Amino acid sequence: MTAYAAEHPGPEAAEWAFVAQERVAECTYRIDEGAGQDELQGLADAARGELAALTLGLLGEAGPMTAERLAALDADTLALLTWYAAPWPVRWLWPPETDAHGVALRPRIVNLFHGPGGWSEGICRVLGADVDMIGVDLDPGAAATANAAGHVCIVADVAALDPEHPALQWVVGVILSPPCQAFSPAGRRRGHEVAAIELVCSVIRSVGGAAGYLQTVHADGSDAGCAPRSGETWPEVRGQLAGLEDERAGLMAEAAIWPLAMLCSNGSVEWVAVEQSSALPAEIEEAIFFEFEQAGWRTTEAMTLDSVEHGSPSHRKRRFLTAYRNQTPVISVHPETPFPVTTFAQCVGWGPGRRVNTRGQRGIDPRTGRPKGGGGFSADRPSNCVTATAYGWKDEDSGQRIHQNDIGRLVGFRSDYPWTHIGRGEGIRTRAQQAADVVCPMTAAAVIGRILNLHWEEQTRTYVTKLYDTTETA
């Protein structure tokens, strides 16, 4: 840096050189004082980050970064910038290519709590949208499934990543599907406890202040603009959630943290889409929307959608929250005419008149000749919501079981989708759980079609017809 300053005299270069010299002096002092390895590593990383930022500046002076220029970088420079960009792709350190009107040719999207690929299948395969999307998921099996299907998903903890990372500056869309077990009737519902709701809402309400979007007023009640950032770091904001009995409930705070944190660091976020259990507490939903509204976002929406409405052969009611910074969408998420009904039997290739046993072996009721107890349903209608136990679903009379490809098709995935298990055994339940956790691709296409102003219905009908061999009769 000092050599560069000598060759390029000027105040900016001189400042870089001064910072570099200070960093060297600080490292030397801390070593003499017996600093620990973690502290020294932090200083080294800070110095390396400054070198990477300087390198980016130098490369920027030479013109726009293209794929060809990136490929031509020497190994040391590429390694430095790859480290700086991690866990995001190094190309994200520069703006995307644009058309003659300045619109990105491939809009950048982060897909948090990505799972095996429901949103991604809906966007890329159903809609056919050309986007530059990176997923993040903590489950290596779900990430492996997504990557095997052609999507890009990194294994990381969403709540441990920095939402102000410089590589996120040109991301325009944020998708989040936090785990639903804390709210779902199928889970323990710890997220519905009063104390949990109050804590999650309290943390969400602190996000605007931490990002610099806390609205203030003068003594006379007139608008005084936004207060300075509170000084809370994102680890400190997130750390308040440690008292939750079910920490998964606190992940709903990420729906406010990521987009607002990205924006306060010169970000470009234009829209957010969140998927959660249809039993999401209204207080949490309202707290999230309030943060967007005080940050000046134009439109916030909430809707409960059942995937059957978009052609799925299984019911899946989910709550979708969307927010738009500068627009009000006009395309509906509801089809103009109903999709053809696809039954469980049609999906898995059974004949008519059969019933699905969802609870294993049960005694026979002598009055009816059928198994005792509930849990079954007619295969001549759309399926109940798919759960992790679907691997055990079978015909009540013959005992014929369904397989993983059937489970995937029930939630809207193609038969050859590469459901992947990492670990011991075949992972039969694990792969079924992946399918049970997904966003239905057809519903994802409707939600994102509305966001991107794409007429999603025709593409979705084509996808459904091909997947289930249905005809266009309601």
DSSP codes, 326-360: S----S-SS-SSPPPP--HHHHHT--SS-EEE-S-
Q: What is the pLDDT of residue 255?
A: 98
Using alpha carbons only, give the angle 289, 450, 185 rounded to the nearest 5 degrees: 55
Gap between the Cα atoms of 457 and 158, Å rounded: 32
Phi then psi for residue 268, to 5 deg, are -125, 15
Q: What is the pLDDT of residue 52?
A: 87
Which pLDDT value is given to residue 24? 67
**Cis (ω within 30 of 0) for the bond into 87?**
yes
Q: Which residues pair with 104 in a beta bridge?
A: 98
Sheet of strand 394-395: strand arrangement: 377-378, 355-357, 394-395
Tell me the pairing of strands 364-365 and 370-371. Answer: antiparallel
Domains of the chain: 2-85 (no CATH), 108-324 (3.40.50.150), 344-441 (no CATH)
The reported pLDDT for the residue numbered 5 is: 47
Q: What is the per-residue pLDDT for 166?
A: 96
Given this model, what pLDDT does residue 12 score?
Answer: 60
The per-residue pLDDT for range 392-402, each reduced to its tens digit, is: 999 999 999 99
Which segments in the chain show pLDDT lower than 50?
Answer: 1, 3-5, 374, 472-474
State residue 157's pLDDT score: 98
Half-sphere exposure (Cβ direction) of 55: Cα atoms closer than 13 Å: 21
Angle at 14 between CA 8 and CA 16, to 5 degrees: 100
Listed residue (348, 328, 337, 446) closest to 406, CA to CA = 348
Return the ∠ at Cα 299 (arms to 294 and 300), rounded to 5°: 80
Give me the residues paired with residue 324 across strands: 271, 299
C-alpha distances (whole Å) from 128 to each of 399, 424, 462 are: 39, 36, 12
pLDDT in tens, 226-279: 999 999 999 999 999 999 999 999 999 999 999 999 999 999 999 999 999 999
What is the distance between the alpha carbons of residues 162 and 421, in angstroms, rounded to a whole number? 28
Encoded tokens for 159? 């709540």
- pLDDT score for 61: 81
The pair of structure tokens assigned to 235 is 């680890």
Distance, CA of 389 to CA of 397 (rounded, Å): 19
Q: Which residues contact 371 (CB under 8 A, 6 or more apart)?
A: 357, 362, 363, 364, 365, 396
Q: Can you give the pLDDT at residue 367?
A: 64
pTM given for the model: 0.89
